[in-house]
Amino acid sequence: MADYKKIINAYKDLPGGLIESYHAVQREFSYIPEEAVFYAAEVFDMPKAKAYGVATFYSYLKVGKRGKNVIRICESAPCHIAGAAQVVAALEKELGIKMGETTADGKFTLEFTECVGQCQATPVITINSKPYGDLNPAKVPAVLAEYK
């Protein structure tokens, strides 16, 4: 696994470098280790609280352990009406976890999100930001099989 210090240092002189470094760390680890936030505070010369605030402000960024494959389901009104609750139930059953949890093997995390901009294909999930639309419970096992 890559060293988060090297990743953060690569962005230290760039405009918007803090957020870009967080995105890069998350791409590598699938989450931002808390110690990486504290290291970023040093590199970008800011209080730890501010660096942590930036890391936790954006819903796309996640501080703390998370599965290798992050499954996010849209909980906006169009997805809800189209059957998102049934898709959630199928995901939870298939993975053996509840929303907000990570599988014991660290492969999957389930999270809610707001609109992912795919309202033409509701309900929608994303796995590592890749959208899967027009979902129903019967399609869930095949989608998950791509990542197992």
For residues 34 and 19, give the distance between their C-alpha atoms in angstroms, rounded to a whole number: 15
**Mind spelling out the 3-state secondary structure of 61-123?**
CCECCCCCEEEEEECCHHHHHCCHHHHHHHHHHHHCCCCCCECCCCCEEEEEECCCCCHHHCC
Q: How confident is the chain (148 residues) per 10-residue block, as mean pLDDT?
A: 88 94 92 94 96 88 87 90 94 96 93 87 92 96 94
Task: Name the token pair of 66.
Answer: 């998370």
Judgement on whether residues 73 and 139 belong to the same structural domain of the protein = yes
For residues 125 and 132, give the distance between their C-alpha atoms in angstroms, rounded to a whole number: 5
What's the confidence (pLDDT) of residue 2?
A: 67
Total domain count for the chain?
2
Would 62 be classed as within a structural domain?
no
Judgement on whether residues 16 and 77 belong to the same structural domain of the protein = no
Would 63 be classed as within a structural domain?
no
What's the confidence (pLDDT) of residue 5?
A: 95
Strand bridging mode 69-74 / 108-113: parallel
Range of the domain at 96: 69-145
Whether 129 and 123 have beta carbons less than 8 Å apart is answered as no
